[in-house]
Amino acid sequence: MAAPRKTVIFLGDGMADEPVPQLGNRTPLQYANTPAMDQIAREGRCGTLLTLPAGFPTSSEVANMSVLGCDLAAEYCGRGPLEAAGRRLPLAPDDKAFRLNLTTVAGGVLKDFSGGHVRQSDADEIIRTLNATFGSPEVRFYPGVSYRSLLVLSGPRHSHRVSTEKPDDNHGEALEDHLPKAASPEAEPTAALLSRLMLEAPAVLEATDTNRRLRDAGRPMANGVWPWSGGVAGGLRSLHAKYGIRGAVISAVDVITGLGRLLGMTPISVPGATGYIDTNYEGKADAAIEALKTHDFVYVHLEAIDEVSHEQNLELKIRAIENFDARIIARVLAAADHDINVAVLPDHPVPIAFGKHTRTPVPVAVRMAGALPDSIQTFDELACPKGNLGAMKNGDLMALLFGLK
């Protein structure tokens, strides 16, 4: 059997949007200067991909699992276990892992889901305080990247069957209106614990040296917590078993690194990759170029666009899209063989007008050796649906690129 053709997927997290009046009713993708993405569209074929199907959370783990061909109905396990895998944190069979955002709270209202994009050293101190105040052998807090932390609950008394909401969907909302709820009777104690953490943490965290310093400097305090998307470790079918390929994943955030690791991909760490607008774009591109020498498939994930989209910062969204195009995609295309297969897409939209994920299918452009291009000339939300790839869904993109083993 012939070896798989080298393939790169460029994933711009949250890149898709809707027409913006300030841009003459163009989307940020239409407005931004994106010659590399447009080249892929012009030389390839275009369509859309539904990444957030009904019945699943509108979360990045769902969207990226869709892109990577996972069977959501059978394999979705919640975000917590994926982030634990990203931190190389082993979970015991009775462990329940929850993503835990460090947030900014004022007067019982969520002001910032990212705690002002808290610095790593400050986040580490806050996690130490949480463990000292609320921790026990059964309740443990772990730092992640900036505000993206983890809560692990152990033992039979705790359950992951708790209904939680995404913090980035609830800016300006009172915590008491969005507390976790038990989805089954045995989860009542866990829902009560998570609710207590959300309501009691601000008073504790405001007294830390970190938050006193942030407050005195006039910066947002990371004085709240928001646990969500709990789950237990489950089994994901590897990309090698499914497609016969060896993959690598390049991402600054634990959820994507963990998903890649559980799919049998090689996680590649890039110094200076922050998950924000100041990330090391060139370092990620160079890591992808090197990874193509030893892997069949490289998944290059950029978080920065998603973060500034949630902030509803139009100027930074355009800048992040242009950085993605010029400093990652163009750099890889210039260095790699022209006959590699390449695809570019967002994982989900984050319209600037709302600052939240939506279920709208995302634009996709795919350039494959030997495949005739369609007539699409630009990569954006309005042009791509007219391409001949049509409306794809879960698993279709990977099947197009690799076929099924």
Mean pLDDT, the chain, as a whole number? 95
Residue 338 near residue 49, CB atoms below 8 Å: no
Q: Which two tokens stand for residue 320?
A: 């992040």
Give pLDDT, residue 309: 97
The pLDDT value given to residue 337: 83
**d(Cα 159, Cα 232) in Å, to the nearest integer?**
9
Per-residue pLDDT averaged across 320-349, rounded? 96
- pLDDT for 388 equals 96
Check residue 208 and give left, alpha or beta (phi > 0: left; psi -120 to 50: alpha): beta
Q: Half-sphere exposure of 24 toward its Cβ, with a 13 Å CA cutoff? A: 4
pLDDT on residue 402: 94
Closest CA to 64 of 281, 277, 289, 306: 306
Contact in structure between 27 and 222 (CB atoms under 8 Å)? no
Determine the Cα angle at 275 with ends 336 and 59, to 5°: 100
Tell me the pLDDT tens digit for each residue of 362-372: 999 999 999 99
Q: CA 161, CA 182: separation in Å to the nearest integer?
A: 7
Q: Read off the pLDDT band of 2 (50, 70, 90).
A: low
Confidence at residue 234, expressed as pLDDT on a 0 to 100 scale: 80
CB 320 within 8 A of CB 308: yes
**Domains of the chain, CATH where assigned:** 7-75+235-402 (3.40.720.10), 85-231 (no CATH)
Mean pLDDT of all residues in 328-351:
96
| pTM attached to this predicted model | 0.89
Write b or e for each residue in 330-349: b if 16 or more Cβ atoms lie within 10 A of its Cβ, otherwise e.
Answer: bbbbeebeeebbbbbbbbbb
Residue 141 burial by Cβ neighbours in a 10 Å radius (0-12, 13-18, 19+): buried
- Dihedral sign, Cα of residue 327, residue 285, residue 122, residue 92: positive
Give kind and range of the element (H or E) at residue 215: helix 209-216
**Which of the residue ranges 6-10, 133-137, 233-237, 267-271 would you say has the lowest mean pLDDT?**
233-237
- Supply the pLDDT for residue 3: 72
Q: How confident is the model at residue 404 (pLDDT cuts 50, 70, 90)?
A: low
Beta bridge partners of 77: none
Amino acid at residue number 236:
L
